Amino acid sequence: MKIETIVAANRFGLGAKPGELPQIDKDPQGWLLQQLEGPPQLPAEIIRLPDTANVLVEVQEARRMQRAAKRSTDGEPAPDVVRKSGSIVRRHYLQQTHARFQVATATDYPFHERLVHFWTNHFAVSADKPPVSALVGLFENEAIRPNVSGKFADLLLAVEKHPAMLVYLDNQRSIGPNSKLGKRANRRREQKVGLNENLAREILELHTLGVDGGYTQDDVTTFAKIMTGWSLGGGDDRRFAVGTPGEFTFRDSIHEPGKQTVLGKTYKQSGMAQGEAILRDLALHPATARFIAGKLVRHFVADNPPPEMVERIANVFLESDGDLPSVHAALVTDEESWENTFGKYKSPQDFVISAFRAFGREPDNGRLVVGALDLMGQTPYRPGSPAGWPDTAAAWGGADALYKRIEWSNTVARLAGGRVNPLDLADSVLGPALGRHTRTAISRAESFDQGITLFLVSPEFQRR
Amino acid sequence: MIMISRRIFLQRMSVGALASGMPAIGLARADTDVRLVLVILRGAVDGLALAAPYGEGKYKSLRGELAIADPGQHNGLLKLDGLFGLHPAMVNTHRFYEDGQALVIHAAATPYRERSHFDGQDFLESGANKSGGSRDGWLNRAIGPLGGRLGDQTAIALAPNTPLVLRGANSVSSWAPSQMPDADEATLRRIEALYTDDEFFATRFAQALSSQDIAGEVGGMGNRTRGNEAQQMKTAMESAAKFLSAENGPTIAVLEAGGWDTHANQGAAGGSLADRFRGLDDGLAALQKGLRHHWNNTVVAVVTEFGRTVKVNGTRGTDHGTATAALLVGGAINGGQVVADWPGLGNSDLYEGRDLYPSTDLRSVFKGVLSEHMQIPSAYIEREVFPDSSSVAAMRDLIRT
């Protein structure tokens, strides 16, 4: 068996399933390349999920009731109402998390799935507060998943129009001071309304150019003006009542009128076209290509991305006008991707998904997965910031996190109930990459259970 | 009022360059009775809300709906001096201040002048002078003289993973509560053997076992707290107190909390930011209680990556700024003052017309704590902990003698 097979299954993929390695061994690179477009049909677990507009309306309605109850009883809202609102959000979060891990543990397109996870993390929203917590998985499936086989510009636009992103980064109420609503409010000396820079800043810093991309504070503020109006329909404020509740709505009444100059270019378009134009320019900027190439190489190859490889991938990005399948394929065909078998330390999520796959199992419910990953430091869909999860061994290599992985492995091993032979398991997942020291340790274990624990915590399984 | 802060500031700053003619100092074993707790608040805490300059004429008009009432008034600030007041939620911290056990350092920042959280936190934790700096943390570099070898419990992060400030060549531990059953001794021994050839795993495993031993001895640390972030802060502080009180336990603990990025609906005396301050304040009280007599030898430093805009934004919050406030709390602190070279809030006094101007480099506070409290030799600090920072003088008289 080729060592490339192990790299393909475990570093590019999500970890080998039983019996998978011999299939991959026929043509490891080909196996990866044929996954680029994703499966012909969406998995059933994804199709079953509700859509963002419905969930957002449901959550907002519950919160409205909560506020009304609070006002009427003149103090704390009745506990039922509070619980109801929180439990609605939690139910959606758990359902979406379960769906994601069901798909990840079962899929025969693991490279494609890993790419979906990568892009969701790049455009991270975090389940820190309602209503975003109820939308995190829907964001992944609506904005990211359909667009990872297309152009980066289209992915970018889908993301910046998605209600989860707009709410997470406070853009839905960012108001241009000279917009119709802005002028009226400030003339009446109402609660001062104005710009919120959060979305504009994070688009430049995290989504496109990167923090060294050469933009200034002025660029951020001006870009924020361009992005005013990118908002949602509905809402509990009379001023925001237009548009379909819970869906993207461009609000001309809060859009800052006039031409704007960002990064030396003047955008004269009016309305939504202005924002679309600058986003398309950012999508093709050389700094964007380099930033994204760096992140991809870090994710798939090494914590310290080799500069020449990053350069090569960035060039593919630019030459293909940001065609993501071309960029993803370039990662696969680049020789440097294959040089180091265990180049990366698995994140907690990588570890848990690969463990389920090794047994050919899926998680029974979302709660288990959330609980385990929370203890290891990676609560699903909750990176805590729009920068997403980090991607290095230093970030994931805490002593306690390792101990948690050991405890979890021990628990999983006991559940296997002495039925699985740990050496067979190790061979079917790691093949020729299983080192002699680990093989010996497993073979000398006191019991099958202990052998499985040793396999799961072994350096070879903890890395990819 | 402004003059008083400046005078205090100048007294505390070493005037003139560091004595460069000092002989090379051998690394003496630092005092192991002292305790240090570093609390990193992620998200850029609004220093003007934490310690508000109510004495500035323009305070109320500039801060608009974020302004808090004067000391003595309903929901008013807790008076620090004629210029500054502490946020009303911080009652325990105010008590520490009045007992001389807290200092507020204001208009402080790292050398970082952009406004990215992640780069800002990198600067805060790496101690670097410019971006693209080290991939390790200043506190990790600092613990060299204190031990920090494999298995030595010198420093611990109260989190599953190690924050950048504690990453580096010196081995540190981490700990967080668990809900899973323990692995049995026999299996743990075999895992230790499994890891012998792999340094990455071997060191982390050893540190984890060491922390688990302490947690096991101390007791009552098993279960994971449910609850909001304020409750979690309190539990984390209680755990930190237990570790720092344990025999042969660590002497340095690092805690982190997020959620301080108040772009929208920040609130003033009450509201989302006030709730977070209250959680932090409860945590500090819990830490004092848990440390018992060790509190007398403890310094807690509460820091954040940068501050926020002076004016409110369009969503009743603030955007990213520059200078902010830091807190030093503990029985070892020589406190009861606000230390600031206060730049003022006049239009021409602001940084880029929007932020509080940074007149103090936060590293001077770290240097002061490391040298005066942790007894780490200044030469070592200058060479290894904060290289290329010779223009930043250590703040003095932070510690009670």
Q: Which residue of B has its CA nearest to A384?
A: B258
- Distance from CA of residue B110 to its chain's centroid? 13
- Residue A159 tokens, joined: 């993301």
Are A159 and A165 a contacting pair, CB within 8 Å? Answer: yes
- Among partner residues B116, B161, B315, which is closest to A401 by beta-carbon distance? B161
Of B42, B178, B187, the CB nearest to A450: B187
Preferred mutation among A208, A370, A402, A463 to probe B, highest tally of B CBs within 10 A: A402
Asked if pLDDT for residue B75 goes beyond 90, the answer is yes
User: In which element (H, E) is residue B51 found?
Assistant: strand B51-52
A277: burial class by Cβ within 10 Å (0-12, 13-18, 19+)? middle
Chain B (109-138) residues lying within 8 Å, Cβ to Cβ, of chain A: 114-119, 131, 135
Chain A residues with beta carbon closer than 8 angstroms to that of B225: none
Q: What is the pLDDT of residues B144-198, one digit of tens each?
A: 887 644 446 689 999 888 899 999 988 899 998 887 888 888 899 999 999 999 9
Q: Please give the structure tokens belonging to residue A425.
A: 């398991």
Residue listed under structure tokens 């200058």:
B382
The pLDDT mean for chain B works out to 87
Helix axes B199-218, B185-194, angle to 10 degrees: 160
Tally of CA atoms within 13 A in the half-sphere of B184 that contains its CB? 10
Interface of B with A in 66-105 (CB under 8 A): none
Tokens encoding A328: 């993803």
pLDDT at B26 over 50: no
**Sequence letter at residue A8:** A
CA B234 vs CA A280, A313, A444, B111: distances in Å: 46, 47, 45, 31
Residue with tokens 């220093």: B47
pTM comes to 0.86
Residue B267 to residue B213: CA distance in whole angstroms: 43
In this prediction, residue B19 carries a pLDDT of 35
Strand partners, A151: A323
ipTM: 0.89
Label each residue of B53-107 as H, E or C.
CCCCCCHHHHHHHHCCCCCCCCCCCEECCCCCEECCCCHHHHHHHHCCCEEEEEE
Q: Look at the alpha carbons of A316, A320, A326, A328 in this order and tell me if their dihedral is positive or negative.
A: positive
Buried b (16+ CB within 10 A) or exposed e, B5-31: beebbeebbbeeebeeeeeeeeeeebe
Give the model's pLDDT for residue A173: 82
**pLDDT-based confidence at B273, cuts 50/70/90?**
very high
**CA dist., res. B87 & res. B12, Å (int):** 24
pLDDT above 80 for B200: yes
Tell me the CB-side half-sphere exposure of residue A356, using CA atoms within 13 A: 21
Residues 319-378 of B with CB under 8 A from A: 319-320, 352
A445–B190 C-beta distance less than 8 A: yes
Label each residue of A52-93 as H, E or C. HHHHHHHHHHHHHHHHHHHHHHCCCCCHHHHHHHHHHHHHHH
Identify the pLDDT of residue A240.
57
Question: Highest mean pLDDT: which of A72-81, A191-200, B25-34, B215-224?
Answer: A191-200
Residue B17 in contact with partner chain A when CB distance is under 8 A: no
Q: Is A206 exposed, middle or buried (0-12, 13-18, 19+ CB in 10 A)?
A: buried
Q: What is the pLDDT of residue B149?
A: 46
A217 touches chain B (CB under 8 A): yes
Say if A333 is an interface residue toward chain B (CB within 8 Å): no
What is the DSSP secondary-structure string of A9-56? IIIISS-PPTTHHHHHHT-HHHHHHTTTT--SS--HHHHTSPPHHHHH
Task: Decide if A205 and B116 are in contact by the 8 Å CB cutoff.
Answer: yes
Is the pLDDT confidence value at B15 over 90? Answer: no
pLDDT band at residue B11 under the 50/70/90 scheme: low
Asked whether residue B29 carries a pLDDT value surpassing 50, the answer given is no
What is the rounded distance in angstroms from the CA atom of residue A297 to the CA atom of residue A294? 5
pLDDT of amino acid A152:
98
Burial class of residue A404 in the structure, from the number of CB atoms within 10 Å of its CB (0-12 exposed, 13-18 middle, 19+ buried): buried
Residue A116: name the closest of A349, A340, A315, A342 by CA: A349
Q: Report the residue from B162, B193, B312 with minimal CB separation from A398.
A: B162
From chain A, the residues in CB contact with B162 under 8 A are 394, 397-399
Chain A residues lying within 8 Å of B188, measured CB to CB:
406
Neighbours of A180 (CB within 10 A): 15
Are A196 and B183 within 8 A, CB to CB?
Answer: no
Structure token pair of residue A426: 């190790």
Alpha helical stretches, state H, A107-174:
110-122, 136-139, 152-161, 163-168
Q: What is the mean pLDDT of residues B3-21?
A: 49
How many C-beta atoms surround the C-beta of residue A229 within 10 A?
25
Interface test with B, best of A218, A400, A444, A453 (most B CBs within 10 A): A400
Contact A377 B159 (CB under 8 A): yes
Q: How far is B145 from chain A (nearest CA, A)?
A: 22
Residues 6+ apart with CB under 8 A from B388: B129
Check A410 against B201: CB less than 8 A apart: no
Quick check: A430 and A339 in contact, CB under 8 A? no
- Structure confidence at residue B16 (pLDDT): 37
In this complex, the residue of A194, A404, A459 whose CB is nearest that of residue B201 is A459
* Residues whose CB is less than 8 angstroms from the CB of residue B376 and which lie 6 or more positions away in sequence, other chains included: B30, B142, B145, B146, B370, B385
The letter for the amino acid at A139 is F
Query: Does the distance separating the beta carbons of A457 and B194 come in below 8 Å?
Result: yes
Residue of chain B nearest A193, judged by CA positions: B314
What is the predicted pLDDT for the residue at A351? 98
B295-322: per-residue pLDDT in tens?
999 999 999 999 999 999 988 999 999 9
Whether residue A165 lies within 8 A of chain B, CB to CB, comes out as no
Q: Are A274 and A260 in contact (CB under 8 A)?
A: yes
Q: Tell me, rounded to whole angstroms, the distance of Cα A231 from its chain centroid.
A: 22
Q: What is the DSSP string of B321-372?
A: -S-EEEEEESTTB--SEEE-----SSGGGSBTTTB----EEHHHHHHHIIII
Beta carbons of B200 and A345 less than 8 Å apart = yes
Spell out the SS3 assignment of B157-198. ECCCCCCHHHCCCCCCEECCCCCCCCCCHHHHHHHHHHCCCC
Distance CA B101, CA B301 (A): 12
B400 burial via Cβ count (<10 Å: 0-12, 13-18, 19+): middle
B275 Cβ under 8 Å from any chain A Cβ: no
Tokens of A451: 């052998």
Cα-Cα-Cα-Cα torsion A313, A316, A318, A320, nearest 10 degrees, comes to -150
Spatial distance between the Cα atoms of A154 and A295, rounded to a whole number of angstroms: 19
Cβ-Cβ contacts under 8 Å, B134 against chain A? none
- Across B23-37, average pLDDT: 57
Which residues in chain A come in under a pLDDT of 50? Answer: none
- A462: which chain B residues are within 8 Å (Cβ-Cβ)? 201
Inter-helix orientation angle A436-443/B185-194, to 10°: 160
User: Best interface-test mutation with A: which of B121, B180, B306 has the largest number of A CBs within 10 A?
Assistant: B180
Rg (CA), chain A: 24
Across the interface, which of B118, B172, B314 has its CB nearest the CB of A387? B118
Under 8 Å between Cβ of B120 and B44: yes
Q: Which residues of A16-36 are buried (b: 16+ CB within 10 A; e: fewer)?
A: bbeebbeebbeebbebbbebb
d(CA B147, CA A51): 55
Taking the C-alpha atoms of residue B34 and residue B37, their distance in angstroms, rounded to an integer, is 10
Which pLDDT does position B7 carry in this prediction? 58
